[in-house]
Chains A and B, each alone.
Chain A
Amino acid sequence: EIVMTQSPATLSVSPGERATFVCRASQSVRSDVAWYQQKLGQSPRLLIFGASTRAPGTPARFSGSGSGREFTLTISSLQSEDFALYFCQQYNNWPLLSFGGGTKVEIE
């Protein structure tokens, strides 16, 4: 099983600031990583796949990078609607898919 570890668990940021958080895989997953956003009471929404490709409807302020074992998601200028929980997922070891524990982005 590939373990995905996200850090930090919580990130406190002011609106308009940049937010960057990390997802590390226990072994190489090439670029087979996706990022999701989940707001309270809603289902997750796909933001990024292939480590860096924005899904349709994902604003340009969201960018993903990385390959191998380390991946980052950056929000260039936080908007009020971006305060949420973010999960990474690897799909390199399909069908044994796995998710990170999540990073909560909260208002500072």
Chain B
Amino acid sequence: EVRMVESGGDLVQPGGSLRLSCAVSGFSVGSYYMNWVRRAPGKGLEWVSVIYSGGGTYYADSVKGRFTISRDNSKNTLNLHMESLRVEDTGIYYCTRDLYLDSSGWLHTFDVWGQGTEVTVSS
């Protein structure tokens, strides 16, 4: 069964750091494009970061230079290290998997989501 379970969300002060993890089962995290997507309270979804199957990474402008996405193929986990956290980083963080079809290749939409982990940045 394909499953993703996030952890690591917490209450942290502005300027603080936090590390989120996403434990993956049912597929290899290193074989897929994997992302973090967040949803602030009362707002829509926001894409945060991607790590390609080849290992390259990309970030939304709002987190560039502060967040680092990584993966551990041996543990089959996806990670997000967050530094210099701001109040506006508050929200639920989801790990997601890009859809891959043999007929179309990578479609950068998300067919598997974790249940989310809550990050609150507040003094």
Residues of A at under 8 Å CB distance from B?
1, 34, 36, 42-46, 49-50, 55, 87, 89, 91, 94-102
Q: Which chain A residues lie closer than 8 Å to B111 at the CB level?
A: 46, 55
Query: What's the tally of chain B residues with a CB closer than 8 Å to chain A?
Result: 21
Q: Which chain A residues lie closer than 8 Å to B58 at the CB level?
A: 95
Residues of B at under 8 Å CB distance from A?
43-47, 50, 58, 60-61, 94, 99, 104, 107-111, 113-116
A99 touches B109 (CB 8 A): no
A49-B107, A91-B108 known; 13 new pairs, CB 8 Å cut-off, are A34-B109, A36-B45, A43-B116, A44-B45, A45-B113, A46-B99, A46-B110, A46-B111, A91-B109, A97-B47, A97-B108, A100-B44, A101-B44
Bound form: Cα–Cα A1–B46 in Å = 12
B interface majority secondary structure: strand
Q: Which chain B residues lie closer than 8 Å to A45 at the CB level?
A: 113
Bound form: Cα–Cα A91–B60 in Å = 14
Answer whether A43 and B99 are a contact pair too, CB < 8 Å, given A97-B47, A99-B46, A100-B44.
no
A99 touches B99 (CB 8 A): no
Write 19 A-B pairs (CB below 8 A) sorted by A numbering.
Answer: A1-B61, A34-B109, A34-B110, A36-B45, A36-B110, A43-B113, A43-B115, A44-B45, A44-B110, A46-B99, A46-B111, A49-B99, A87-B44, A89-B45, A91-B107, A96-B60, A99-B45, A99-B46, A101-B44
A46 touches B116 (CB 8 A): no
**Residue of A36, A49, A96, A102 most packed against chain B (CB within 10 A):** A49
Q: Which chain B residues lie closer than 8 Å to A42 at the CB level?
A: 115
B113 touches A50 (CB 8 A): no
Bound form: Cα–Cα A42–B113 in Å = 10
Bound form: Cα–Cα A43–B112 in Å = 10
